[in-house]
A and B are shown apart, each in its own frame.
Chain A
Amino acid sequence: MPEIFINGQAIEARDDQTVMAVAREHGHFIPYFCWHPQLSVVGNCRMCLVEVEGRGLDIACNMPVAKGMKVFTNSEEVQAHRKAMLQFITLNHPVDCGICDKAGECTLQDYHYQYSGQRSLSHDQKVRSTKFYNLSNRILLDNERCILCLRCTRFTHEVSKSMALGVERRGDTSNIRPVEDRPLSEDPYSDNIIDICPVGALLSRQFLHKSRVWFLQPTPSVCPGCARGCTVQLWHRKPEWKLKALDQRQNESIARVTPLDNPAVNGPWICNKGRDLAQVFERVRADEPMLKGRPVTVPAALDEARRLIGAARHAVALVSNWGSNEELETFKDKLGEVFHCFVKEDWQPQPGERLEDDLLIRADKNPNTTRARELFGHAEPGFKDGTDLVLVWGEGFDFARLPSRARIIFLNSYLQPENGHADVFLPVSIQTERHGHYTNFQGTVSAFEPCFEPKPGVLHAEDLIRALAAPARGHP
């Protein structure tokens, strides 16, 4: 346990630590571009220069601790060299922040304002290179903005193991390039390189020029794409920046999805499917209760549902494994006696989708199977003779498999043909409109928060279950 001094503070470090790790642990910030906690150390950006008494300047990310070393992270010499490093790093950078998607969350921009603020000292023409290079069907590369930190190549070599990226040529003509034998588009984790890019070189095609990041706010959520339950951030427009004209749908849409660093589940990564959550949540929604396809008011639909429940002799419920822990528990508590409950798999793997791997992706494409099975058992849905009522909660169940005589109560969020076939159809809110928790396959519970208000007529499943459990002819 060597004792080291950082800016005069005595710290007990572990033998295997670097100065960067110790400094971060104890709140001494050292700026960096190429270093990343989950990737190997290359030390090529030279931004984390610190001064060690008697040894001069060196990079903190690759400096093992030694007994009694005195490190200064912000001495005058360090400041001067940082400024010089930023001059060097921006030597061929176009400084086109005004049209760059990364502006506002760019480390180069932040460090420039914090540590340099200087105009370029160079009189030479900047080296021109390719803009909007097509890396894959999801990612564009701007080589002029690239500072060659190599985080993206290391990610494909060390984390996703697709080996899809490398550096061609050298010096100021170096370019990040993909290679044909291992296309980046086949890497299901490729979009993480957009997040870890410290500058605006790697751009999401889906998010390109869609919004400035300061108009957006992140809401913590959980990806429902598989049983891993990665924690994510859903970015949507801030209330104070709501659009009053133009395309108002943008006010209620998810602009992008990024990982929420969570060492217990997903670390700083998510898969590409998690980035496309908007495609799941922004399908056309059902927002009117119906009785056999005829639109009615919520109280009327609830009354009819309660009447059916009251009259049923043998009622079966197919419980959604997209329900939150709270909803599932409420269902068990309020309706568990009334219904014979089975867990329904709402989503099956899509054709062409990666089924499972040893990084994040799980074969079960539903978020809360664990808690649902704990409460309702492992039995496959089956219908005994004499089943006269089935409550289907959530999508993904073929109505042809339901007993032909049974009446149907259907709780669903999206506009689907089955909605009109149910005796009672009740629209329910989706994950982006409510609070809740999911339990992932390891038993880790993660919370999600609402981003948007549900439409009138759309109920939260939890309230709906309580209302259904109330005595018939009552009011919700």
Chain B
Amino acid sequence: MKHLVPEFEKFRERFPAGFESSLVLPCLRRIQEDRGYVANSDIEELAVFLGVPQIQIEEVLSFYTQFRRKPIGRWHLQFCHNVSCSMNGAENVLAHVEQKLGIKPGQTTPDGRYTLSTVECLGSCGTAPMMMVNDGYHENLTFTKLDELLEGLK
């Protein structure tokens, strides 16, 4: 986390003094972006840097499911399984990917390339079913589209 401190100092300037606890969220996001997950050492160092109790950081981390405490695969496939996607066959496309990759949601392939998750609404109901691969949206999913996409993810 140490090398991110200059960036965190910039975040700090955007907040009035005494609002260190409000910095927890942006700092954690940046850490996860950088490392891929939030390590225990990050929590300890961030607590010291911000001067907030560790529990406050743990609270934020455990509240938002988007934060990860363990490393994940190169490609993170997040399938929406909320109402609109589900009605348009999210479970089918998910099953297809599960079969193709040989893993269940929450698991990572042994080669460390793919991690599969199911998530709640990603705000793209008009183009259901959909998923996110890392930071990109892939919409109106079909089996062929998925096959092509997985081919492209090397």
Contact = CB atoms under 8 A, between A and B. Distances in A.
B58 A168 contact: yes
16 contacts: A163-B53, A163-B56, A164-B53, A165-B55, A166-B55, A166-B59, A167-B59, A169-B63, A170-B63, A177-B55, A177-B58, A179-B53, A179-B58, A180-B54, A181-B44, A182-B54
A179 B63 contact: no
A170 B53 contact: no
A177 B62 CA distance: 11
Interface in B15-73: 44, 47, 53-56, 58-59, 62-63
A26 to B, nearest CB: 37
Contacts of A180: 54
B119 to A, nearest CB: 15
A325 to B, nearest CB: 43
Contact of A168 (B44, B47, B59): B59
Contacts of A182: 53-55
Contacts of B53: 163-164, 166, 179, 181-182
B55 A164 contact: yes
Contacts of A178: 55
A167 B53 CA distance: 13
A57 B63 CA distance: 29
A11 B77 CA distance: 61
A166 B58 contact: yes
Contacts of B63: 169-170
Contacts of B44: 181
A170 B59 CA distance: 9
A180 B57 CA distance: 12
Contacts of B54: 179-182
A178 B47 CA distance: 15
Nearest to A179: B55
A166 B56 contact: yes
Nearest to B64: A170
Contacts of B56: 163, 166
A163 B58 CA distance: 13
A163 B55 contact: yes
Interface in A166-191: 166-170, 177-182
Contacts of B55: 163-166, 177-179, 182
Interface in B60-109: 62-63
Contacts of B59: 166-168
A168 B53 CA distance: 14
A170 B58 contact: no
Contacts of B58: 166, 168, 177, 179
A348 B64 CA distance: 50
A166 B35 CA distance: 26
Given A181-B47, A182-B55, 12 more contacts: A164-B55, A165-B55, A166-B53, A166-B58, A166-B59, A167-B59, A168-B59, A179-B55, A179-B58, A181-B53, A182-B53, A182-B54
A178 B59 CA distance: 11
A178 B44 CA distance: 15
B47 A169 contact: no
5 tightest Cβ-Cβ pairs between the two chains A and B: A166-B55, A163-B53, A179-B55, A168-B62, A169-B62
Interface string A139-173: 00000000000000000000000011111111000
A167 B54 CA distance: 12
A177 B53 CA distance: 13
Contacts of A167: 59
A418 B44 CA distance: 53
Most chain B beta-carbon contacts within 10 A, residue among A164, A178, A179: A179
Contacts of A177: 55, 58
Interface in A116-136: none
A294 to B, nearest CB: 61
Contacts of A181: 44, 47, 53-54
Contacts of A164: 53, 55
A164 B56 CA distance: 10
B82 to A, nearest CB: 16
A164 B55 CA distance: 7
Interface in A439-475: none
A170 B62 CA distance: 7
B33 to A, nearest CB: 23
A66 to B, nearest CB: 29
A167 to B, nearest CB: 6
A182 B51 CA distance: 13
A164 B63 CA distance: 18
A193 to B, nearest CB: 14
A163 B47 CA distance: 12
A165 B59 CA distance: 10
